[in-house]
Chains A and B, each alone.
Chain A
Amino acid sequence: ELKVEQNPLFLSMQEGKNYTIYCNYSTTSDRLYWYRQDPGKSLESLFVLLSNGAVKQEGRLMASLDTKARLSTLHITAAVHDLSATYFCAVDVSGGGADGLTFGKGTHLIIQP
């Protein structure tokens, strides 16, 4: 059974600091997704990583994928309060891309002014 583990599950940090969220998964996959969820809202797609070594950046967020290590990271640079949310990674092991996703438990991120 595929397992997806995120850490940390809870993170409180100050504005301006850098931090990394880690996502480990237990089975070979070359498709990994990062989502953001604000309280009471939908999951918003942040990044889709499709191959080993993939790196994507959007603003202060950068995601990377190492399929050999079965590890993805979401790096936050110079955090700002607006990035406070819950972040999920999710893995698709089918290869075809259209199957259901397996999610991590989510990282609840609070950024203090």
Chain B
Amino acid sequence: EAGVTQFPSHSVIEKGQTVTLRCDPISGHDNLYWYRRVMGKEIKFLLHFVKESKQDESGMPNNRFLAERTGGTYSTLKVQPAELEDSGVYFCASSQGVGAGVYEQYFGPGTRLTVT
């Protein structure tokens, strides 16, 4: 069974540009999460989808970040316009839906974003 995949693995963009990150969760997982790790800091929760609905977006830093999960499958995270402080590693995770019990989150390899 394929794990969580993320694309691209690395992205280098200039300040002011737009970048879109993609996450494909494990097939059948209703819950999808985005996290970010800025260098030297903790991994921070950004938001949580249940199927196509945003369950919790309390961790989104500001309105330059837009996440979507159309159809409840893959998700995209767009940063527009990117700022220097957006640099970091963006992780996606997924877990099974209601009734699965443990809700163990499985993480993707991350996208390393560098804004210059």
Task: Please tell me if A59 contacts chain B, counting CB pairs below 8 Å.
Answer: no
Do A103 and B43 touch (CB < 8 A)?
A: yes
Q: With a CB–CB cut-off of 8 A, which chain A residues contact B90? A: none
Do B109 and A41 touch (CB < 8 A)?
A: yes
Do B43 and A88 touch (CB < 8 A)?
A: yes
Do A100 and B104 touch (CB < 8 A)?
A: no
Do A98 and B41 touch (CB < 8 A)?
A: no
Q: What is the total number of residues of chain B having a CB less than 8 Å from a CB of chain A?
A: 31
Interface readout for B84-100 with A: 1 if CB under 8 Å, 0 if not? 00000001010100100
Do A42 and B107 touch (CB < 8 A)?
A: yes
Min Cβ gap A27→B in Å is 14
Interface of A is mostly: loop
Beyond A98-B103, A100-B33, A100-B59, whether A42 also contacts B45 by CB under 8 A is no
Q: With a CB–CB cut-off of 8 A, which chain A residues contact B55? A: 98-99
Do A43 and B103 touch (CB < 8 A)?
A: no
Q: With a CB–CB cut-off of 8 A, which chain B residues contact A109? A: none
Give the contacts of B42-88 with A (CB-CB under 8 A).
Answer: 42-48, 50, 55-56, 59
Min Cβ gap B67→A in Å is 13
Docked CA distance A48–B96 (Å): 15
Seen from chain B, the residues whose Cβ lies within 8 Å of a Cβ on chain A are 3-4, 31, 33, 35, 41-48, 50, 55-56, 59, 91, 93, 95, 98, 101-110
A–B pairs, 9, beta carbons within 8 Å: A35-B107, A41-B109, A43-B43, A43-B107, A45-B105, A97-B102, A100-B35, A100-B56, A103-B42
The 9 closest A-B CB pairs, nearest first, are: A100-B45, A97-B103, A43-B107, A103-B43, A98-B103, A42-B109, A42-B107, A103-B42, A105-B42
